[in-house]
Structure 1
Amino acid sequence: MMALTGKQKRFLRARANRLQPEFHIGKNGLNASFLSQLDDNLARHELVKINLLQNADLAPKEVATALREQLPGVQIPQIIGRVLLLYRPASKEKYRRLSLKVKAL
């Protein structure tokens, strides 16, 4: 898997502008059920926003590192404050709307 180019990151950030954070990380941190739900969501939507709540014990950079380790192929084009943007191309053809556009850039 290759790193995203600046142009691809800009495209993803523009797309994410309209997204609301779908996942929230609180005091429970990154537990197994959270990770599996996130994995399923990424498989279908390719682009997901995560919000770190104030009571989360982890810093945004720590969360980014943990997610990269635990979810293969995940890339993080943007971190603003306590909001992380995650991207991973879908493995199933029918969900690859976004990744086809990203690849074309």
Structure 2
Amino acid sequence: MTSKQRSYLKGLAMNIDPVFQIGKSSLTPEVTQAVDEALEARELIKVTVLKNCLDDGRSIAQVLGERTHSEVVQVIGRKIILYRPAKDETKRRIVLPVK
């Protein structure tokens, strides 16, 4: 992903609310599956890591990205932005700028 594409996604993500909150149980298989389903439906999601979670936001973002095969767009403090294009091309809503 180029910096131009990442910048475009950051701009889109500014207007969306967090879809998930990760708490003290950290990343469970259920949370990972729910994030995967949300990525398929929305393509771009925002996740909040609560203060009672012992894990670091960056490490959670990296693990979520690997498990859901998505791109970590940005991590700011306790907010994570993930992007993955929909598998069905007819359902894709976000068109990234050309490299």
TM-score (norm 1): 0.88
Equivalent residue runs for 1:1-105 within 5 Å? 4-72=1-69, 74-98=70-94, 101-102=95-96, 104=98
Q: Work out whether residues 8 and 102 of structure 1, in 8 Å CA contact, stay in contact via their aligned partners in 2.
A: yes
Q: Work out whether residues 64 and 84 of structure 1, in 8 Å CA contact, stay in contact via their aligned partners in 2.
A: yes
**Cα shift at 1:103:** 5.2
Gaps in structure 2 of 5+ consecutive residues: none
**Cα shift at 1:94:** 3.0
Can you list the C-alpha shifts for 1:30-67, whole angstroms capped at 9, x where unaligned? 11111111101100110000000000111011102211
Can you list the C-alpha shifts for 1:2-50, whole angstroms capped at 9, x where unaligned? xx11110111000001101110000111111111111011001100000
Aligned structure 1 segments of 4 or more residues deviating by more than 4 angstroms: none
Distance 1:13 1:84 in 2: 11
Q: Work out whether residues 4 and 97 of structure 2, in 8 Å CA contact, stay in contact via their aligned partners in 1.
A: no
Identity %: 33
Paired residues, number? 99
Q: Determine which structure has the larger helix proportion and give its number.
A: 1
Distance 1:25 1:96 in 2: 27
Distance 1:95 1:56 in 2: 34
Gaps in structure 1 of 5+ consecutive residues: none
